[in-house]
Amino acid sequence: MILRPVAESDAETLIAANCANRSYHAPWVAPPCDRAAFDQWFAGLATGRAISMIGLTAEGQVIGVFNFSEIVQANFRSCYLGYYGMAETAGRGLMSLCLRAGLIHMREAAGLHRVEANIQPANQRSIRLVRRLGFQLEGFSPKYLFIDGDWRDHERWAILLEDVSATI
């Protein structure tokens, strides 16, 4: 498994994987499926308030994408987490490995203290992922994010990064 920041050179591979997994991602997320959408998303990373990482198998197959956004330092040292995986690598524990490595990176390299993930209640696969890694349910936010043409309720899950173990 390889986890590294998304590069502009990943555009073709990531767009192809996103398009091939469109039905797998729906209705939870709609990642970029063309170059213009990728370029717009990638340009947003230049603000310095987001880090997006791509997980790859040793053969170069996309495992998933992990977006650490709205990074705030100072007294807050926190961010939001969004992520999505690919059907071809699902069910093998690879998303867990990648996310654990991403959380450790955000603690060690970015100096963060806390990460929050907001997840739609019906997205049980995603909830199982964060629960497995030690995220705690902190609350419920009605009509929190506008996704797939409607305001969607979300559960707030969070983890203190000092609680993330480097051991699997």
CATH number reported for the structural domain that contains residue 25 in this entry:
3.40.630.30
Q: What is the pTM of this model?
A: 0.93
Do the domain assignments include residue 57? Answer: yes
Do the domain assignments include residue 107? Answer: yes
pLDDT tens digits, one per residue of 29-69: 999 999 999 999 999 888 888 999 999 999 999 999 999 99
At 88, is the secondary structure helix, strand, or coil?
helix
Amino acid, res. 138: E
Do the domain assignments include residue 17? Answer: yes
Distance between CA atoms of residues 94 and 97, nearest Å: 5
Distance between CA atoms of residues 111 and 127, nearest Å: 25
pLDDT tens digits, one per residue of 79-127: 999 999 999 999 999 999 999 999 999 999 999 999 999 999 999 999 9
Domain of residue 144, residue span: 2-163
Token digits for 103? 């959380």
Do the domain assignments include residue 41? Answer: yes
Number of domains present in the structure of the chain: 1
Do the domain assignments include residue 150? Answer: yes
Do the domain assignments include residue 168? Answer: no
